[in-house]
């Protein structure tokens, strides 16, 4: 059985778009980042996707191996 990666939000530039929540979940469970992002989008339209995203943003630790040089959560 292959070892799974830890559940940590990636640093900027490593697949992170907003806060890295979808990238973290996709990496941890071996799913496509696009698929996880689409699932959050659909869940947000019909449920409480935004609330869950913010909660996970708070609960999932940032990856300490690559610090975020800008200290910002928004890419671009």
Instruction: Convert the pLDDT of each residue in 35-68 to its tens digit.
Output: 999 998 898 898 888 888 889 989 988 887 655 4
Which of 50, 63, 52, 60 is CA-nearest to residue 13?
63
4 is a domain residue: no
Residue spans of alpha helices (H) in the chain: 21-29, 33-46, 49-59
- Residue 1 reports pLDDT greater than 70: no
State the total domains in the chain.
1
6 is a domain residue: no
Q: What is the pLDDT of residue 6?
A: 78
33 is a domain residue: yes
- Residue 69 reports pLDDT greater than 70: no
16 is a domain residue: no
Q: Is 28 left (phi over 0), alpha (psi -120 to 50) or beta?
A: alpha
Dist CA 58 CA 65 (whole Å): 18
Dist CA 76 CA 73 (whole Å): 10
Residue with tokens 């990636």: 10
The boundaries of the domain holding residue 44 are: 21-59
């Amino acid at each position: 059985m292959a070892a799974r990666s830890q559940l940590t939000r990636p640093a900027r530039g490593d697949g992170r778009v907003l806060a890295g929540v979808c990238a973290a979940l996709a990496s941890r469970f071996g799913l496509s980042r696009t698929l996880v992002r689409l699932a959050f989008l659909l869940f947000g339209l019909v449920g409480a996707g935004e609330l869950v995203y913010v909660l996970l943003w708070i609960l999932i630790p940032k990856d300490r191996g690559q610090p975020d040089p800008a200290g910002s959560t928004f890419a671009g």
